[in-house]
């Protein structure tokens, strides 16, 4: 029976970590019975047995991380284990041979004493000093061996010689700051690899514009004042709904590059949203956002975010996205550029709503602004198409009642 290997539990999974073995060596298991807990870069999942069998040997210990496809345990089917047959008779014991007496060692000859020449005294260690330091010390008759150098490797510098002449102790070299190292987690390694791959292979370009958020903030406040605590909307809920409508109006933005010569366009808006975690981030996906209300999007986003922070997302809940929204407004960030999440063609970065003066009907009045920055894969989308899409998102957010219908 072939060994168990690290399973691939999602399209983006490259490595997995054995969190816990649920079976010990020698124990049996039934078909589909969980035998191990495996942590991927995005969640923790129980790994079920494909067939009934016995765990013979564990090859990957708890806490170890290995690539997908690596053997993690040796197993055997229950029907293959057979008791060893007993021998019909005992084999005759071989006749014991008496050990031959070891030969007596010959007496060693006395070593011949040779004349030993005394070793010459070691040469004095050369003092490391800069040419200028040597020159100044020679001119002043100063012994460099009595000076402590502060240069690289203890090298004596001119400043050390001058300090010694002045009677001041040389300046001590700067202390090395304390530091600690720790290995990258499985999630951090995947993030590092995918972000590097995106910036290396995807030609990004960026578009930024400001949204007049006055009506958006007011509409959200009115709605939240009329509902319970659990049904309150966020700015991000409106942004996701606006993006879903805009993706249907500009389908080129809802596309992906396939290979090097094909573009695949999707007929539904499956929008991912970034969720920050202590050691990285996850991007749960809300499917068919174009067919859901802002309230439905809000409830689903809250549930997915909670499951993401608990490490309970399934692979289906964080894969298959066609567009991503990343919002750092809750941290006071007003403007940033997000990195595209391959194989998607774009990602929208949402900044904080900021108070600033605006011009309305020729008058300067208090207003609210929010910056949107679109990162776009130039292989799939051109500048004009991206600008039209971003303009549609802006128009929808500035008329939020249309999003609530």
Tens of pLDDT along 331-374? 999 999 999 999 999 999 999 999 999 988 899 999 999 999 99
Question: Quick one: average pLDDT of 95-111?
Answer: 50
Q: Please, what's the b/e burial string for 146-159 (b: 16 or more CB within 10 A of its CB; e: otherwise)?
A: ebebbbeeeebbbb
Query: With 50 as the cut, is the pLDDT of residue 115 above it?
Result: no
CATH 3.20.20.70 fits 203-403, yes or no: no
Q: What pLDDT, on a 0 to 100 scale, did the predictor assign at position 173?
A: 63
Is pLDDT above 90 for 263? yes
Spell out the domain ranges in the chain.
4-79, 133-165, 203-403
Q: Quick one: pLDDT band at residue 250, thresholds 50, 70, 90?
A: very high
pLDDT tens column, 382-403: 999 999 999 999 999 999 998 9
In this prediction, residue 262 has a pLDDT band, given cuts at 50, 70 and 90, of very high
Average pLDDT over the chain, rounded to whole? 86
What phi, psi does 165 have (nearest 5°)?
A: -65, -35
Q: CA 66, 70, 75, 76: dihedral to nearest 10 degrees? A: 170
pLDDT for the residue numbered 202: 96
Check residue 74 and give its pLDDT: 92
Res 88 pLDDT > 80 = no
**The predicted structure's pLDDT at residue 205:** 98
Q: Does domain 4-79 have CATH number 2.40.40.20?
A: no
Instruction: Confirm if 142 and 161 have CB atoms less than 8 A apart.
Output: yes
Of 290, 288, 297, residue with least CA distance to 245 = 290
Q: Note the pLDDT of residue 183.
A: 87
Task: Give the pairing type, strands 363-377 and 204-212.
Answer: antiparallel
Check residues 84 and 9 and name the one with the higher pLDDT: 9
280 - beta bridge partners?
277
Q: What angle separates helix 131-140 from helix 158-165, to the nearest 10 degrees?
A: 20
Average pLDDT over residues 209-221: 96
Phi–psi pair at 188, nearest 5 degrees: -65, -35
Greater confidence, 92 or 165? Answer: 165
pLDDT digits (tens, 9 = 90+) for 120-166: 555 556 788 888 888 888 888 888 888 888 887 788 888 888 888 88
Average pLDDT over residues 185-203: 89
Q: What is the predicted pLDDT for the residue at 322?
A: 98
Percent of the chain at pLDDT exceeding 70: 86
Q: How confident is the model at residue 213 (pLDDT cuts 50, 70, 90)?
A: very high
pLDDT, position 97: 52
**186: which 2 tokens?**
């499985």
Please compute the mean of the pLDDT values over residues 236-251 and round it to a whole number.
98
Point out the least confidently predicted range of 96-105, 147-156, 215-224, 372-381: 96-105
Question: What secondary structure letter does DSSP report for 27?
Answer: -
> Residue 114 has what pLDDT?
41
Residue numbers annotated as active site: 378, 382
First to last CA, the chain: 59
List the alpha helices (DSSP H) in 166-293.
186-201, 214-226, 235-249
267-289 pLDDT tens trace: 999 999 999 998 889 999 999 99
Residue 25 has pLDDT above 60, yes or no: yes
pLDDT of residue 287: 98
pTM: 0.66
> What pLDDT does 96 receive?
47
Tokens of 238: 């409106």
């Amino acid at each position: 029976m072939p060994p168990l290997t690290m399973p691939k539990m999602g399209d983006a999974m490259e490595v997995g970590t054995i969190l816990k073995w649920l079976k010990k060596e020698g124990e049996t298991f039934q078909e589909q019975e969980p035998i191990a807990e495996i942590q991927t870069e995005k969640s923790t999942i129980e790994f079920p047995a494909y067939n009934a069998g016995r765990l013979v040997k564990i090859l990957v210990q708890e806490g170890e991380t290995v690539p997908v496809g690596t053997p993690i345990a040796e197993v055997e089917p229950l029907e293959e284990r057979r008791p060893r047959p007993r021998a019909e008779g005992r084999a005759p014991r071989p006749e014991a041979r008496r050990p031959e007496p070891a030969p007596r060692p010959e007496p060693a000859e006395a070593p011949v004493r040779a004349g030993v020449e005394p070793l010459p005294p070691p040469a004095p260690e050369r003092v490391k000093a800069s040419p200028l330091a040597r020159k100044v010390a020679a001119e002043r008759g100063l012994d460099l061996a009595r000076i402590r150098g502060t240069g690289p490797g203890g090298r004596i510098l001119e400043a050390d010689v001058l300090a010694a002449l002045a009677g001041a102790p040389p300046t001590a070299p700067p202390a090395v700051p304390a530091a600690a190292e720790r290995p990258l987690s499985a999630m951090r390694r995947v993030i590092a690899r995918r972000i590097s791959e995106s910036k290396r292979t995807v030609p990004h370009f960026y578009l930024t514009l400001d949204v007049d958020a006055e009506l958006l903030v007011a509409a959200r406040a009115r709605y939240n004042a009329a509902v319970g605590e659990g049904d309150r909307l966020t700015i991000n809920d409106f942004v996701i709904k606006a993006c879903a409508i805009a993706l249907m109006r500009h389908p080129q933005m809802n596309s992906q590059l396939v290979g090097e010569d094909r573009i695949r366009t999707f007929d539904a808006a499956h929008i991912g949203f970034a969720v920050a975690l202590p050691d990285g981030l996850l991007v749960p996906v809300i499917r068919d956002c174009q067919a859901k209300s802002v309230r439905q999007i809000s409830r689903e986003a809250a549930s997915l975010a909670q499951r993401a922070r608990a490490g309970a997302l399934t692979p289906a809940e964080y894969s298959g996205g066609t567009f991503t929204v990343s919002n750092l407004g809750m941290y006071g960030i007003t403007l940033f550029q997000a990195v595209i999440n391959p194989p998607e063609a774009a990602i929208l970065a949402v900044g904080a709503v900021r108070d600033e003066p605006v011009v309305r009907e020729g008058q300067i009045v208090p207003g609210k602004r929010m910056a949107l920055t679109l990162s776009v894969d130039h292989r799939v989308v051109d500048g004009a198409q991206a600008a039209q899409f971003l303009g549609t998102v802006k128009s929808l957010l500035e008329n939020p009642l249309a999003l609530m219908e």
